[in-house]
Structure 1
Amino acid sequence: MTIPVERLTEPAVRAFVAALNANDQTAFREALASGATMSDDGSERDLGEWTEREIFSSRGHMEIESEKGGGLDLVARFRNDTWGEMKTRWRFTVEGGKVARFETGQA
């Protein structure tokens, strides 16, 4: 069973996931704090390059399986046209109502 995006607990994470799933780059950028950072499988990545490659040009999509930590820690089935589908973990840091950092990797 999946959790509908509109039911995610943390508003900033909800905006992030909704923008990602809609492939809406403008809304995605608006969900991020200025200077936001990220890592993938423990390695720091350039957020702009990574999101273009893994989300926007490859039609990334998240189906949320669970959330904890007040909605800052998600397990999701993530899929894109490059890699197919995989179970992933997403951890978010929210500052000022925006995502300041996210860490993702295989779950």
Structure 2
Amino acid sequence: VPCVQAYLSAIIIYLYAHDFQQAQKCYNDCSEVQGFLSSDQNRCAMKLLSAYEEGDAEEIKRAAQSSAINHLDHVVIRLARKLPTGDLQAIKKDVGGDDGDSLDEDDLT
């Protein structure tokens, strides 16, 4: 299942590089691949992304210890173990900020 491992690796690398939007986009693209949807790698990626959205550093660390990550390339495993990097609150604000803007527009109409 090397391709599903590559998908999870790419998501981890984007998160490590503080590019949450790209990680999310990558996850959405991968979700169109049937083999990925039913994989442990998918469950791990979902846990990582939702923990980032919630700004939950402990959950990110737990997800980064998952067995799905243990089967990735050793370089990616090392990156995953260093997560989270960067300002989780900024990511949380960016994710929530988009919703907030659309809600404000609704309030004005």
Q: Above 0.5 in TM-score? A: no
Larger radius of gyration: 2
- Relative to its length, the structure with more helix (as a share) is 2
- Relative to its length, the structure with more strand (as a share) is 1
TM-score, length-scaled by structure 1: 0.33
